[in-house]
Chains A and B, each alone.
Chain A
Amino acid sequence: MSLHRYNSVFVLIFINSYAFGVFDAVNVTAPVSATTPQQAPSYVSPGSSAVVSPVVFKPAVEPAFSVALRSSFPEDLEVSEYCAELLRLFGQRYVAFVDCLVPAARPVKVCQNCFPEYHSLSEVFLNISSDQMGPGNVSCRDSILRSDRLMLVFLLNSNMDTIWQRSNCIQCVKDLSGPNNDTLYYLTLLNQTITCFEKYKQGNLTELCKNCKDAYKRLNDLYSRMEGNKTLCIDLEDAMNVTRKLWSKNFGCSIPREETIPVIAVSCFMLFLPIIFYLSSFLHSEQKKRKLIHPNRAKSYASLMNIQDKRS
């Protein structure tokens, strides 16, 4: 169902750069958002993004510039130990999730592969954002999420949430227990179809069309039914797209243009009817007599004559 399957390369590139960009952001700005600005916000050029290490929260990173915010703020404004720990956890899981997402971008296997990572990530975020007091009577919600204009942690999380929502993964994998029954059944059918394709691919393609039709049709029907129930996620949509493309484009199994002659004959007949109708009504029916109203004018003036006279 995905619209942009021919754009897949671009999508991949986009996601790549996006993901690495995120790495940068995490590496550089996480400490700032955590209100422990022990290092200056150093700018990492895009070129270095390929070698970014997954380490996220290290209070003792060497500053890039000689002048930096060295002195720490008074005690009560600092992030507590507990929150710092939560933030570190968030960073780790975030990296793990993105690590999982990028390879699953093409062909799309986001939901099947990455749901545990997503769940652990959202678990941490839930901890951060809950307003329940942790140990030491501190709530990390205010100190981590709401202390500055950027609200980086919130932003990062909402990005990931958007990805998850747009991929509709919730339809296929509800919770940690894995894909639901519909999805599994669908995958089974898909595998059958693909196996069938593999089997007959070498030989005559008409053979393939004939032999794999049942499997393909079952898959197609199931897909449409799930489409109606709205139980599809991006993985299934993408798989169906590829299969349909194989079926219609590569193997050429959609219906051919047949029976052109009868269609043209019927159309010509239809198009001739009005000509006959108009001709016959022109020839046979009489034109309705238009009763003209003749004006009674005062005797001395015949007005049309008059018009001619006056104009000259």
Chain B
Amino acid sequence: MANITKKVSWSSRGDESGPAGEETPLLNGSEQSRPLTQMSSGSTKFQIGRLSTVDLEEEITTEEQESARGRPKEIPHNEKLLSLKYEIVKFTEAGGLSISLILWVVLNCVFVMLGAIMVAFFEPIAAGSGIPQIKCYLNGVKIPRVVRLKTLLVKVLGVICSVVGGLAEGPMIHSGAVVAAGVSQGRSTSLKRDFKIFEYFRRDTEKRDFVSAGAAAGVSAAFGAPVGVLFSLEEGASFWNQMLTWRIFFASMISTFTLNFILSIYHNKPGDLSNPGLINFGRFESEYNLYEIPLFMGMGALGMLGALFNVLNYWLTIFRIYVHRPCLQVMEAMLVAAVTATVAFIMIYFSTDCQPLGPDHNEEYPLQQLFCADGEYNSMATAFFNTPERSVRSLLHNPRTYNALTLGLFTLTYFFLACWTYGLSVSAGVFIPSLLIGAAWGRLCGILLASTTPNGLTWADPGKYALIGAAAQLGIVRMTLSLTVIMVEATGNVTYGLPIMLVLMTAKIVGDYFQEQGLYDIHIKLQSVPFLHWEAPATSHWLTAREVMSSPVTCLNRIEKVGTIVDILSNTSTNHNGFPVVAQVSADDEPAKLCGLILRSQLIVLLKHKFVELARSRLSQRKLQLKDFRDAYPRFPPIQSIHVSQDERECMMDLTEFMNPTPYTVPQQETSLPRVFKLFRALGLRHLVVVDDANRVVGLVTRKDLARYHLGKHGLEELQLAQT
């Protein structure tokens, strides 16, 4: 941030009378030095941008553990761009405040527009924080395009644009996951390059393991929290074992180390490994007392602000269904950017809170001084112009007294703006903004507490309350386990483990009372993702497999006509993915005996390689190998792209060798819904065949059948899932 150039001179009166335009004398009078600074920041920016892309390319060839390395470049990058933006805003100071307001708005809009266009038109899945998507992926749902290289690129660029455009800070978990998934496959389909390594990992299960490792590495790089491995544990625990945990833990450690190392080079102190995490809350030293714990828990109960946030965002997201066209989405994002800038400007304009500049105050922003006396700064401007991360740190640590009014207004506006921003089609997360909101109102609580007694309570250190407030506000995502660990690690003070844990629990309990789901779960639900939670809904034990399953089932014969297969696969109204293979389909829909299960992807590969067996002539070509299936993963061609001639349609295909001969089955009458649910969660199933007592197929249970059931206000309810 050292490159952010010097302060603004709204103060010396001569600006109006002096030669207007670019000669505007600044307070520091650095007319000569200004172009130089600008150029240097520009060129550094370019260099860093290039570096980070090179890094990504390398990523794919390097070994798996260093997965989250693409990220560290980002924030410095942003800061350079930000400083460039402030430079531009400063040029217009002679013109008057309304002009610079407009210019600021326009600049923000342009950057946000770039980001939103990338997201809305090229890769909609890169919108938001990416955590809901990764959560679903780890849950076992196949989400198209979520771990593609293109997604990563759009995401990283989009985050840069949205942060420069004045919206919130961005997502690291998603990036880590994408990098890990890319590395594990040893190739990039987007770049059309295959490095012929890691071919054995080209399966869903393996890839999911890598994604969870990548997400954990992303967390640990972001917060300097190597035990962020618990995030993956919390989100993907069903496919977990000790060996994998250890590997992921190692990956997280290495990721923190790599980040540290690269940051040390960035700070020109190579080898100094004392920069853990991109988001660094600084060391937290103050102590707490036993009698403060009830206070902390009271603040945790204030976490119902988080519930309010969730409810507002829920209604907003429902309303956003009206804004579904990409161009409208881009416009909406631009409007949010414009309003954010305007509101910030108004707050700064009417704020009278001036603080004396300190010797440590070396970051400078436009409008910093505005109407304050020389040698003082407008603290509202600092609150809005600082990067959120820096604001959080200053709220946690700065001994400087904040003005309660400034803080309150800032919290209020930021709360609504963040609520409005989340869910836009820009790559902006909710984590850092809510951290900031929480820290702000927590600090406010601390200040108010200290002002209750005339000489101030000595133990009421506002920084401590800012931390507790941040934890309480983060209750909106309802991830108690990983949040506790992340907060404790990011503050570097284990003794705060208990208060943070209590606060998170209180916030979760209070929040659940108002809104039973976390923000991420709300968005997962609104997107109709068949997400399976930990347990089956509480009162579902009397539902049996027979009531849950889909019936009748589209089955295939062991030796099936190619024409039939193609027709079934091409049927867009059903779009099934797994087909039970039966001995002989009878004409009148009588259930037939189960032999196995075959997947759509397998059928497509078979068709693609023309592995058809002409019924009697036994004209088999070369032997099909497992490699052929791996090579097609994960982008199996759609059935429409496979040409099947009329002659071939008449051929027969023997599925016996390729089907899974031992699919999981349950008997129809005796199996309860919770048991089916457990099988799905524990084994990561996608299809479960329901059979009768003679092993004849009567139905099929998929995730969508299970995810419909949901415990609502009036007992068990069945939801309507939408096709996405």
Task: Determine the distance from Cα of A281 to Cα of B349 in the docked complex, in whole angstroms.
Answer: 32
Q: Which residues of B contact A297 (CB under 8 A)?
A: 547, 549-551
Return the contact of B13 from the options A2, A253, A292, A310 (Cβ within 8 A).
A253
Residue contact B547 to A303, C-beta cutoff 8 Å = yes
Return the contact of B718 from the options A209, A288, A304 (Cβ within 8 A).
A304
Asked whether any CB of chain B lies closer than 8 Å to the CB of A293, the reply is yes
Q: Which residues of B contact A136 (CB under 8 A)?
A: none
Residue contact B98 to A249, C-beta cutoff 8 Å = no
Task: Determine the distance from Cα of A220 to Cα of B552 in the docked complex, in whole angstroms.
Answer: 84
Closest Cβ–Cβ distance, residue A152 to chain B (whole Å): 31
The residues in A between 1 and 42 inclusive whose CB is less than 8 angstroms from any CB of B are 1-3, 5
Closest Cβ–Cβ distance, residue A208 to chain B (whole Å): 12
Residue contact B12 to A296, C-beta cutoff 8 Å = no
Closest Cβ–Cβ distance, residue B273 to chain A (whole Å): 28
Asked whether any CB of chain B lies closer than 8 Å to the CB of A277, the reply is yes
Residue contact A213 to B12, C-beta cutoff 8 Å = yes
CB nearest to A264 among chain B residues: B346
Task: Please judge, given known A-B contacts A228-B6, A295-B708, whether A244 and B375 are in contact too, CB under 8 Å.
Answer: yes
Count residues of B near A (Cβ-Cβ below 8 Å). Answer: 69
Q: Which residues of A contact B7 (CB under 8 A)?
A: 224
| Chain B binder among A52-60, A88-96, A156-164, A255-263 | A255-263
| Chain A binder among B171-179, B352-360, B440-448, B598-606 | B352-360
| Chain B binder among A169-177, A185-193, A268-276 | A268-276
Return the contact of A274 from the options B14, B98, B335, B704 (Cβ within 8 A).
B335
Closest Cβ–Cβ distance, residue A300 to chain B (whole Å): 9
Closest Cβ–Cβ distance, residue B332 to chain A (whole Å): 7
Residue contact B375 to A298, C-beta cutoff 8 Å = no
Q: Which residues of A contact B548 (CB under 8 A)?
A: 303
Task: Determine the distance from Cα of A248 to Cα of B375 in the docked complex, in whole angstroms.
Answer: 9
Task: Determine the distance from Cα of A254 to Cα of B346 in the docked complex, in whole angstroms.
Answer: 20
Asked whether any CB of chain B lies closer than 8 Å to the CB of A207, the reply is no
Task: Determine the distance from Cα of A240 to Cα of B375 in the docked complex, in whole angstroms.
Answer: 9
Asked whether any CB of chain A lies closer than 8 Å to the CB of B623, the reply is no
| Chain A binder among B74-82, B322-330, B456-464 | B322-330
Q: Which residues of B contact A301 (CB under 8 A)?
A: 546-547
Residue contact A248 to B373, C-beta cutoff 8 Å = yes
Q: Most chain-B CB neighbours within 10 Å: which of A240, A255, A281? A: A255
Residue contact A217 to B698, C-beta cutoff 8 Å = no
The residues in B between 547 and 571 inclusive whose CB is less than 8 angstroms from any CB of A are 547-552
Task: Please judge, given known A-B contacts A263-B101, A263-B349, A293-B722, whether A298 and B546 are in contact too, CB under 8 Å.
Answer: yes
| Chain A binder among B25-33, B43-51, B259-267 | B25-33
Task: Determine the distance from Cα of A126 to Cα of B686 in the docked complex, in whole angstroms.
Answer: 80
CB nearest to A297 among chain B residues: B551
The residues in B between 682 and 724 inclusive whose CB is less than 8 angstroms from any CB of A are 698-699, 704-705, 708, 715-716, 718, 720-723
Residue contact A244 to B550, C-beta cutoff 8 Å = no
Closest Cβ–Cβ distance, residue A60 to chain B (whole Å): 48
Q: Which residues of A contact B10 (CB under 8 A)?
A: 255
Return the contact of B342 from the options A257, A258, A267, A298 (Cβ within 8 A).
A267
Residue contact A292 to B721, C-beta cutoff 8 Å = yes
Task: Please judge, given known A-B contacts A209-B13, A263-B98, whether A281 and B339 are in contact too, CB under 8 Å.
Answer: no
The residues in A between 230 and 246 inclusive whose CB is less than 8 angstroms from any CB of B are 240-241, 244-245
CB nearest to A216 among chain B residues: B12
Asked whether any CB of chain B lies closer than 8 Å to the CB of A225, the reply is yes
Q: List 14 A-B contacts (CB under 8 A).
A: A228-B28, A254-B13, A256-B371, A258-B97, A263-B97, A266-B342, A271-B342, A278-B323, A285-B325, A288-B324, A293-B721, A295-B705, A298-B546, A303-B718
Chain B residues with CB under 8 Å of chain A are 6-7, 10-14, 25-30, 33, 96-98, 101-102, 105, 319, 321-325, 328, 331-332, 335-336, 338-339, 341-343, 345-346, 349, 356-359, 371-375, 542-543, 546-552, 698-699, 704-705, 708, 715-716, 718, 720-723
Q: A3-B356, A273-B338 are in contact. List 14 more A-B contacts (CB 8 A).
A: A1-B375, A213-B14, A216-B12, A224-B29, A227-B28, A241-B375, A270-B342, A273-B335, A274-B336, A292-B720, A298-B698, A301-B547, A303-B718, A307-B716
